[in-house]
Structure 1
Amino acid sequence: MSTGKIAVAGATGRLGVHVVDVLAERGHRVVPISRATGVDIITGEGLDEALDGVEMIIDVASWHGSEQEAATEFFRTSARNLHDAGRRAGAARITAASIIGADKATAGFLAAKKVHEELLLAGPLPVRILRAAQFHEFVGQLLDWQQGGVAHLPSLPTQLVACRSVAEELVDLALAPEAPETPIPEIAGPRKENMAEAARLLGARRGIQVVGIDGGGIPDAEIAAAGGFLPGPHAKLAGPTFSEWLDTREGAK
């Protein structure tokens, strides 16, 4: 059954395209928000017009780099603008995606996401947050950042999850009549993995040799090595595994 309009901020991003697909498949009217659609959540250009008549907002917009200061400024501005424009539009709430371990972070992009969560929760509209493990798709991004035929990547524990699985859970959270019992629920992949080992599987398909290294130089590497960014006991675990995902059309891209 179709419902009122739902805006998706970051609609053309890695997670956003899946959120838009899930909503459309379920019969919802989607308002895609991104600079590609002529709406800028940082400058506010086109935002009021885009949110006119919107019932709720799903925020999956993200900063494109890992620098803490720039990412924090992006999230600070986007949170303020979505709250203000959403309130003017009469939206019921904002549902946002975050990252497992953001609450423990002290540096880097994760620390910026921690600020993002705090600012969203402090705003005038009700907010629901879903923390997700790193995406399967993130492994390819790590390889893309490397130069040459050898990639040195951290051998850190993770519980990689597919973007599509996160999108489905995020939509469920956004549309649920009642707020979840767990204040900030989590979703992760079906099993614990090693980032370097996962990258080695993908690297073999791309002709790239992956060398596992310790986390030196990576923000909060000690916390990560100790399992601080792994899902808690109440997290939802959703397949496919990374190797299963690699065998799909999505993973083969």
Structure 2
Amino acid sequence: MRIAVAGGTGVVGRHVVEAAESAGHDAVVLSRARGVDVLTGSGLEQALAGAEAVIDVTNTTTLSAAKATRFFETATATLLAAERRAGVGHHVALSIVGIDAIDASYYAGKLAQERAVAAGAVPFTIARAGQFHEFAGQLLAGMACPVAVMPKMLTRPVAAREVGAHLVRVAEGGAVARARDLVGPRDEVLVDLARRQLAFEGSRRRVLGVRLPGAYGRGLASGSLRGGPEAAHGEVTFDEWLRAADHG
């Protein structure tokens, strides 16, 4: 199968590409570094030639609901239009578990993406996953101050590598509208994850947890982002991930 991976050089995308190739598929990376822009459509039709499925793991870094919504709606519309012209039979979109009641900030963009995918003309599957083990480190890296401030957040983080393999299996299975959710093996608290990662790396930075205001903050602290009892569970714990090559 020829699988195009939108965002194939990112945190999850590189694992999707690796999993697809390991399973014997022909993986095509859709990224600006490869001359393909999913926002403008530049280079997209040529890259999709012969593709049977597209896995969309594109991302944007923002807490603005307006900016996140604009990004995901634009990228989704551009991808779906090009897929329809190219005869792609399956669009797989990665989303986040438990965001239904958190239509705010970044999650507003992901919900808008889900709605756009469902309203499109290409057969689709929305695959939701928990936050990645990489998430705490990404937040830490974005803070230059000696004290890191983390939102109070209950989560069940999952390894990005396991998410990548899951998305390839979803693509192989054909369009089903909504795949089974995937979360990690253990309930965790984001502040604690950040402290454990800093300790593992030998850093003395302090981490403070704060309750963010509004619907976004309530959603983070509510526990809904841990997913439901019907979710499938990954196997790699956060502490195992810290000791693995993916963390390095």
TM-score (norm 1): 0.93
**C-alpha displacement at 1:178, in angstroms?**
6.4
Q: Does 2:201 align with 1:233?
A: no
1:110-189 mapped onto 2 (5 Å cutoff):
110-177=107-174, 179=176, 183-189=178-184
Question: Against the structure 1 CA distance between its residues 115 and 206, is the aligned structure 2 distance closer, same or farther, given a 3 Å change threshold?
Answer: farther
Deviation at 1:184, TM superposition (A): 4.2
Counting only pairs closer than 5 Å after superposition, residues 1-253 of structure 1 correspond to structure 2 as: 3=1, 5-177=2-174, 179=176, 183-204=178-199, 205-217=201-213, 220-251=216-247, 253=248
Gaps of 5+ in 2: none
The 8 Å contact of residues 153 and 210 in structure 1, kept in 2 or not, is answered as: no
Q: Residues 178 and 43 from structure 1, CA distance in 2 versus in 1: closer, same or farther, beyond 3 angstroms?
A: closer
Mapped contact 2:183–2:227 kept (Cα < 8 A): yes
Q: Distance in 1 between matches of 2:220 and 2:54?
A: 31
Q: Unpaired segments of 5 or more residues in structure 1?
A: none
d(CA) in 1 for partners of 2:195 and 2:171? Answer: 35
Give the letter aligned to residue 31 of structure 2: S
> Are the counterparts in 1 of residues 20 and 168 from structure 2 also a CA contact under 8 Å?
yes
Conserved in 2, the CA contact under 8 Å of 1:87 and 1:125? yes
Report sequence identity in percent: 38
Note the C-alpha offset of 1:63. 1.2
After superposition, the Cα gap between the structure-2 partners of 1:132 and 1:208, relative to the gap in structure 1 and judged at 3 Å, is farther
Structure 2: which amino acid aligns with 1:201?
R
Q: After superposition, give the CA deviation of every residue in 1:122-163 in whole Å (9 maximum; x if it has no partner).
A: 000011011111100111001011122221212321101100
**RMSD (Å) for aligned C-alpha atoms:** 1.5
1:58-102 residue CA offsets vs partner (Å, 9 max, x unmatched): 111111323221111111111111111001000101011001122
Change (3 A) 1:26 1:119: same
* Whole-Å separation in 2 of the counterparts to 1:106 and 1:178: 25
